Amino acid sequence: MDCLAFIAFRLVVLWISFIPGGIHGADTETLNATLRGYFSDSRHHETNPAYKKRARDFIFSQFQEFGLQPQEHKFVIDQYEFYNIIGILNGTRIGTVDDKVVGVGTHYDTVADTKGVDDNGSGMAAMLYVAKQLTNENKRGVKRKNTVLFIAFDLEEAGITGSKEIISGWLNPWLIRTYGTAATRLVPYGMVVMDTIMGYNLTAYSQSIPSPDAIQMTFPTVYRNVQSDNRRGDFLLNIYRQDADRALGEAFTRAWQALSHPRFELEVFPLPISSLNQLTNTNFAIYQPFLRSDHSNLWRDNIPAIFLTDSADYRGAMQVCYHSKCDNVETMVTQDNLIFLSKTTDAIFQTINSLSEPSEPAASGCHLIASFWYLIVVPVVTIAARYFILFK
């Protein structure tokens, strides 16, 4: 891009950012297209292996197109082949003990009898969007100190098997190859794990609460918030262990709160446990709803992770459609759901972008010229934009 085109582009972006409805995070049309194109039918190894392979090939090709290092991790269960798909974005600290690895993980498979749009096409659409935006930054010269991993888990719907297999079959060997003796001394930020994240419902009492007495006792603030709002399903859940995952959990909360669309709320669940070994038969029933995805395998291996979800079968249409045929485009792809998904996607991007510690490229001649013109033109553009907003 030559200097004049670069300056024009920057000014267009600036102008749009002042227009209501112009920029509000992740593009809902892109998210919609990804859902409809590759995550709108069953992705099960027996009932629809062709569509599942199509989704898997798409994930791999997208990682490759974005400039990530794509890898497949194959594992075999009952004579079926399954594949976790990994995309790696090297940080400048890779191979050293200072690399605070951060990542995004979500599963792409479904149960046999569902289209799996919310569970978990929504997570896949969000992750691919984040990967694209993050690598777009790198393509313009941004350097990141910390390595970023993107992982699409297979076979989550059969005992969260894919994430269990990848730890011993790919992650630990990769760490040893990449970091050598430093691997055991790494202090990663950990992974943002998503599962079922686009269900939004403003209807009163659309939100169920599992074990309400226990939730009220353990998370009194969340319980009051939900009850005072007539149990509307208008929030995302941010679940993490209060000590082991605090840095990542709080980073996501800050990113969410800094974004627009305050009608989409966030409820934070810092679980008062540091290890799943602390769970007894009695309190396992309380915490079980918070453990129902791939993050629990990461916790078992002492890998930091947070879990983002819309609560799946505890909310709205998914109380009927969870693991059923109506988890489909017709039910789940609404404008409210897409905007809710957009905010979640943008908060994940902001979290990963920040924790990877990006640094801007050194100023080139073109960037210096652009900066000079910004000093002159920005005040004019700002006044014009405000005039447009007030008097259009």
DSSP 47-80: T-HHHHHHHHHHHHHHHHHHT-EEEEEEEEETTE
d(CA 189, CA 249): 10
Q: Helical H runs in the chain?
A: 3-17, 28-38, 49-66, 122-139, 161-166, 172-179, 212-218, 220-228, 246-257, 281-287, 295-300, 318-321, 329-332, 335-355, 365-391
The model's pTM is 0.88
CB 252 within 8 A of CB 348: yes
Which DSSP symbol is given to 362? P
For CA atoms 201, 37, 31, 250, give the dihedral sign: positive
pLDDT value at residue 64:
98
**Burial of residue 242 (number of CB atoms within 10 Å: 0-12, 13-18, 19+):** middle
Question: What's the whole-number average pLDDT of the chain?
Answer: 89
* Residue 377: partners with Cβ closer than 8 Å, 6 or more residues away: 11
d(CA 358, CA 126): 21
pLDDT value at residue 353:
97
Percent of the chain with pLDDT over 90: 79
Closest CA to 266 of 238, 231, 246: 238
Q: Is 288 helix (H, G, I), strand (E, B) or coil?
A: helix
The yes-or-no verdict on residue 188 having pLDDT over 90 is yes
How many residues does the structure list for the chain?
A: 392
- What is the DSSP track for 296-328? HHHHHTT--EEEEE--GGGBTTHHHHTTSTTSS
Query: Which of 39-43, 107-111, 270-274 comes out lowest in average pLDDT?
Result: 270-274
For 195-231, write each residue's pLDDT tens digit.
999 999 999 999 999 989 989 999 999 999 999 999 9
